[in-house]
Amino acid sequence: MAANDNNKDKGKEDRQLVADRIWDEALAKGPVDLGLTIATSDLLAQFGLFDHTAEFLKASLRHGYAVRPWMFEALAVALEASNGSADEIELALLSSADLQPTDGTGFLHAAQSMGKHKKFARALDFCRQSAAQKPNYPQAYTLALEYAHEARDVVAMKWAAENLLSRDWPARDLDLHAKAKLALEKLSGVMAKEGRQQEATDLLTTARKPVRRDMVVKLIWQGDADLDLEVAEPIGTSCSFLQPQTAAGGALFNDFAAPTQQTEMYSLAQGFSGEYKVSVKRQWGQPVGKKAILEIIRHQGTPQEHIQREVVVMDQNVKTVTVKLDEGRRTALAEIPPLAVYRQMATRSSDAKKLARSQLMALATPVVEGREGYLQAAITPETQAARSRWQPLPATEDILAYATMTPMFGGSVGMNTVVVPSPDGKSFSLSFQPIYMETKEGKKVVNPLIPSGR
């Protein structure tokens, strides 16, 4: 039996050496078009030759032909399918992140890749790096909840949950606060079963700790009517149903219907000190008794908590109340995630993991980063039709929200773009960052997206 195992291992090593030599010699003859790289990877994977797929991608990367972040993840998929070493798989995934070392979505994608390969400690490291770049974006924290549970990492679980609980996320389809508390309670149960009682208690304490908010304003009414809450903040921003999250830290939660009453809520996790002008606007109908209640809570979850209630008589279409906040904790503007972020999270696929070939096909297409790591961009109608068989294309607004792209032209230059919507959603800023890959001496790199082309 031992002799047979040794023969199998020897045969595998021989095949790998042959594949390595074949593809290295083939690619040494000259550059290979990116489309051919994609087609070759797909064909090899289609026939289950994942060892050849891995060696082909390695050779492509060694020779520096059209290096793209997706190639490293495709290499990791091929290595895993061909029972490659864990060290090689991890190195490939790390290399993918290194191409975008300061991009929060790049770190997030690296975390997802590590999670897929059950390298949860590494995945948590990348979640922390992504959160450092984009602290007001929820994806890094929600992913960290999953990885911390798998890794039995109490410290990481508390970090992720506390960051979710300390911020407001104005999304109807997501209850990230409930998700954080549930994750804390689940890991607490696991710790208790393993005899780690102190850690279990710490997690439960975090889950049950009162939520701290500088100010909360609730609008409550009864009857067949639609009232809207709008808050003018001290720095000139306005929080409303058109702009449910602001740079002042405010977030609006709309129409929480109950059997006997309706509610809208403005929450200020950390706000600027100053005067807030709270307006109640009647859109249609009339509340019972032509009255609504404003419940104003300052310093919620602290010993200084103070609750004030005011009756608003809706004898006009708009009523405004001025509320003063002292000792607000905010000192800098908040970064506002695009609403598409929440929609993408709400619709994220929960399908089982794809087969290796399907993963390679999904990866090996010119892309921009976004939903689950990548979105389609700048492709021909023919490619678009083929791609639709693998996963749906995103809406235009999703492409605006995430904008790291791979341009469709030859050469060894990639182009990162960053799109940042303005707080009022009426405009956006666009910046470009070229990425130069290695080229052979004497070769000029031409990039039509850069002034002068070089």
- Does residue 345 lie within any of the structural domains? no
Domain CATH code at residue 285:
2.60.60.30
Same domain flag for 298 and 244:
yes
Last residue within a domain, chosen from 164, 180, 208: 208
Same domain flag for 380 and 367:
yes
428 three-state secondary structure? strand
pLDDT at 66: 60
Q: For the chain, how many structural domains are there in total?
A: 3
pLDDT at 89: 77
Q: Give the whole-angstrom CA distance, residue 360 versus residue 70.
A: 9
Same domain flag for 299 and 180:
no
Same domain flag for 194 and 232:
no
- Does residue 3 lie within any of the structural domains? no
Same domain flag for 110 and 200:
yes
Domain CATH code at residue 81:
1.25.40.10
Same domain flag for 297 and 377:
no
- Does residue 35 lie within any of the structural domains? yes
- Does residue 4 lie within any of the structural domains? no
Same domain flag for 64 and 195:
yes
Same domain flag for 304 and 381:
no
pLDDT at 100: 53
- Does residue 132 lie within any of the structural domains? yes
Last residue within a domain, chosen from 175, 191, 208: 208
Same domain flag for 28 and 147:
yes
How many helical (H) and strand (E) elements, i.e. helices and strands, does the chain have?
15, 14
Query: Residue 288 belongs to what domain range?
Result: 213-325
Same domain flag for 133 and 234:
no
- Does residue 155 lie within any of the structural domains? yes
Q: Determine the residue type at 202.
A: D
Q: Could you read off the pLDDT tens digit of each residue along the chain, which spans 454 residues?
A: 444 555 445 445 555 557 777 887 777 777 777 777 778 877 888 888 888 888 888 887 777 666 666 777 778 778 878 887 777 877 776 676 555 555 577 788 778 878 877 889 988 998 998 898 889 999 999 999 999 999 999 999 999 999 999 999 887 667 899 999 999 999 999 999 999 999 999 999 999 999 999 999 999 999 889 999 999 999 999 999 888 899 999 999 876 556 678 899 999 999 999 999 999 999 999 999 999 999 999 999 999 999 999 999 998 899 999 999 999 999 999 888 877 777 777 765 344 344 555 555 555 544 443 433 333 343 444 444 444 444 443 443 343 433 334 444 444 444 555 555 665 556 666 665 554 444 445 444 444 444 444 4
For the stretch 319-337, what's the b/e string if a residue is b when 16 or more beta carbons lie within 10 angstroms of its beta carbon?
beeebebeebebeeebebb
Same domain flag for 91 and 201:
yes
Could you tell me the pTM of the whole model?
A: 0.64
Q: Are 250 and 231 in contact (CB under 8 A)?
A: yes
Last residue within a domain, chosen from 208, 240, 255: 208
| Interacting residues of 443 by C-beta distance below 8 A, sequence separation 6+ | none
Same domain flag for 195 and 271:
no
3-state SS string for 330-355: CCCCCCCCCHHHHHHHHCCCCCCCCC
- Does residue 433 lie within any of the structural domains? yes
Q: Give the whole-angstrom CA distance, residue 335 versus residue 370.
A: 18
- Does residue 336 lie within any of the structural domains? no
DSSP secondary-structure letter at 373? G
